[in-house]
Amino acid sequence: MENLENKPEKSKLIKIIAPILIIIAIAGIYIIKNNQEKGAIDNADFALEATAIDLEHLKSYGLPIIIDFGADACVPCKEMEPVLKELNEELRGKVIVKFVDVWKNREAAADFPLEVIPTQFFFDKHGNPFVPKDPKAMNMRMYSTRDANKHVYTAHQGGMTKEQIMAVLKEMGVE
């Protein structure tokens, strides 16, 4: 008689525990999946500060790229620091934002036509130099090769506000 009385209680217990275990399994899968995706976005390629720039590797992500060459001890560069940090955090996974201190890492800027700091270089999601509709209005400099006159860099010299950078990114198709 004791066995028959416990059977309904076991059935109720299974009906309660089974959905709880399913919910825990789903939550676990969700957490693991989000951490894996976040890990892919949090890798060193998406870190703000860089000691070197492998432009071809960065282009392989298929994201717009901003590279700011400056220095920790440069006043206009210091003014841009919070803007770059904010953009790097807000747009991670949508845009690659890099900062290179050229006083500490001179060789990192060797392949770029750097004349003053800060200077920002912009590349679209295809890895091509950004081509603004009105370069003069955005204070952009367009660099081309002498031999083939191929456009290789688009740069802005001097500091930029978050609004100015966002305007460039919006023109590049970033929302």
pLDDT of 91 reads: 96
Nearest C-alpha neighbor of 122 from the set 103, 142, 105: 142
User: Where do the H-state alpha helices sit in 42-94?
Assistant: 55-59, 75-90
User: Comparing C-alpha atoms, which of 124, 113, 91, 127 is closest to residue 157?
Assistant: 113
H or E stretch covering 144: strand 140-144
- Where do the domains of the chain lie? 1-42, 45-171
Comparing CA positions, the residue from 47, 44, 164 lying closest to residue 99 is 47
Q: For 80-127, how does the pLDDT look when each residue is reduced to its tens digit (9 = 90+)?
A: 999 999 999 999 999 999 999 999 999 999 999 999 999 999 999 999
User: Which residues 6+ apart lie within 8 Å of 58 measured at CB?
Assistant: 45, 65, 96, 98
Fold of 45-171: Glutaredoxin (3.40.30)
Tell which wins on pLDDT, 44 or 172. 172
Residues 39, 45, 50, 54: what is their CA dihedral angle, to the nearest 10 degrees?
160
Ranking 20-24, 30-34, 35-39, 162-166 by mean pLDDT, the lowest is 35-39
pLDDT at 39 over 50: no
Asked if 64 contacts 110 with a C-beta cutoff of 8 angstroms, the reply is: no
**Per-residue tokens: 171:** 């023109």
Higher pLDDT, 34 or 145: 145
Q: pTM for this one?
A: 0.76
